[in-house]
Structure 1
């Protein structure tokens, strides 16, 4: 067996002692002490660091520290939340009904106009008349019964006494039904109490928000305009709408899926079209229903409203997620992402 012996090397201490022995022969006022002694000491320390530590980072730290002390320059190091690097950005995608708002706008509007019993009858037509009425046909039959403008529809869904732009000032109450001895049935739709602050925070940090919904795009747009102001900047991907000559609604389905928007496909399209760097940018998705599950599979961060079908599906399939009751939790998730993708910088 061939044996290998480590070659003999000069002790690193010799490199450290040499400048002291050499410069000790010079008088204290000699200019060589001012111009060459410090560099020599730094070189020796680098030699020691490379020998015993073998990491370039340690050399840089030691040299900078000695220079700082020698030059007597005081500075402070501050942790600064710098914006994410250009290589990685965050885009937020959210469901609308029962997520951004606490109720289902479509079902609420249809129940108000058609009545609960008639709406239930139309919903069950694919089961009671399976050969004659498809699921899509039943949906069209419900929407075509409406004869409202978008503004009129929003007037039904938003409490006229509520200060929607300043919800903290609201004093409106659900009216009392004296005949039944309880509160009257309300068809008002409420914005999640944390969404307005979440929206402000995302805009402040240049994080875009997109709504992906199986609802009606013009109605969602009107609702967001009233809740957040017309300059809210939220993009919406949902079903379109046109009006027949008699004023009835005709839904323009976005795709051929039962509800018109297959959210998994919609999110994949959005990822390809919206993100500057589709391979590195991150997606946060937030929803509540089973229709949100395909979209959740394509997201980096998933938040599900607590006690909903989406939360149950994510748990059953062991998919990482966070549960939320208000958008305050979603805002915290965005803040955590910013912290993780920000850096520590030094300021004078």
Structure 2
């Protein structure tokens, strides 16, 4: 198999989507925005694991799972720049891997809305999943990807690609679910105004700010085409 020209790992919620679907469910169906923000603060300060905070969030959502999916389809918008970016990657031997702490059925449903069923089949999704607790799916719970305190340690799916002579590796993220992956690639894209930047500043993790996938597209394309060095794209080098 031909080695990819680059590999782009991307968070899903708040990165490819404009809103975080899990936050949307928690804020509108679950215990609300105030408690959610408090849990995020505790995670950022190292006083609570992401796994425990996320589990508490989703347990507060009392709605059948299929209704959750429909609610999100109706309200969560996707970054319009991602469809064009994905088209470019598929034509230029760039691999895209969605790495998410969200649940696979929700990701597939929303991604299909954006790029279509055929494209979804070609995008690898590494995420948590869902388990129905009754035949109708009225009661459900998240199934975590691994036993780590993240629930899904995103670094684990990146490490196998960190071999000698590997192509450029990129990670795109926005929040507390991305902390485990922030140090694992050649360039981290961190979304403007979000918690991931707060953490990177505190921990002195190099990153480049992005507002939309149009920014990411421009940067990745310039590296693949050899017009820009990755090190020149890092805005915050510490």
Q: Shorter-chain TM-score category?
A: 0.7 to 0.9
1:218 correspondence with 2:105? yes
Aligned match of 1:332 in 204, 218, 232?
218
> Matches of 2:30 and 2:169 in 1, distance apart?
38
Contact preservation (8 Å) 2:65, 2:140: no
* Residue in structure 2 matching 1:241, options 130, 141, 165: 130
Is the CA contact (8 Å cut-off) linking 2:189 and 2:216 kept in structure 1?
A: yes
Of 286, 290, 310, which aligns to 2:176? 290
240, 248, 260: which one pairs with 2:151?
Answer: 260
1:143 aligns with 2:49: no
Give the equivalent residue in structure 2 for 1:99: 15
1:158 and 2:73 matched: yes
User: After the TM superposition, which residues 46-57 of structure 1 pair with which residues of structure 2 at under 5 Å, given as runs?
Assistant: none
The C-alpha deviation readout for 1:76-119, integer Å capped at 9, x for no partner, is xxxxxxxxxx66731110011111111110121233333528x8
Cα displacement (A) at 1:316: 4.1
Q: Which runs of 5 or more structure 1 residues have no equivalent in the other structure?
A: 1-85, 128-133, 160-187, 343-348
Instruction: Tell me by how many angstroms 1:320 deviates.
Output: 3.4
Question: How many pairs are equivalent?
Answer: 213
Q: Is the 8 A contact 1:88 1:282 kept in 2?
A: no
Q: Please identify, of 251-260 and 206-215, the stretch whose mean Cα deviation from structure 2 is larger.
A: 251-260
Question: Equivalences for 1:302-313 in 2 at 5 Å?
Answer: 302-313=188-199
Residues 124-169 of structure 1, C-alpha deviation per residue, up to 9 Å, x if partnerless?
7xx9xxxxxx97566545535544244x32221123xxxxxxxxxx
Where do 4+ consecutive residues of structure 1 move more than 6 Å? none
Q: How does 1:112-151 map to 2 (within 5 A)?
A: 112-114=28-30, 116=32, 120=35, 139-140=54-55, 142-144=57-59, 145-150=61-66
Once residues 51 and 158 of structure 2 are traced to their aligned partners in structure 1, the CA distance between those partners, rounded to angstroms, is: 22
Q: TM-score, normalised by structure 2?
A: 0.76
Cα gap change, 1:230 to 1:314, in 2 (>3 Å): same
User: Structure 2: which 5+ residue stretches go unaligned?
Assistant: 43-48, 229-238
8 A Cα contact 1:143 1:249, kept in partner? no
Q: In structure 2, how many angstroms separate the alpha carbons of the residues matched to 1:326 and 1:135?
A: 25
1:110 and 2:26 matched = yes
Q: Is 1:322 the equivalent of 2:208?
A: yes
Q: Which residue of 2 aligns with 1:208?
A: 95
Task: Name the structure where strand makes up a greater proportion of residues.
Answer: 2
Separation (CA, whole Å) in 1 of partners of 2:50 and 2:4:
41
- TM-score norm. by structure 1 comes to 0.54
- In structure 2, C-alpha distance between the alignment counterparts of 1:338 and 1:310, rounded to whole Å: 25
1: CA distance, partners of 2:81 / 2:144: 31
Higher mean displacement: 199-208 or 105-114: 105-114
Query: Match for residue 299 of structure 1?
Result: 185
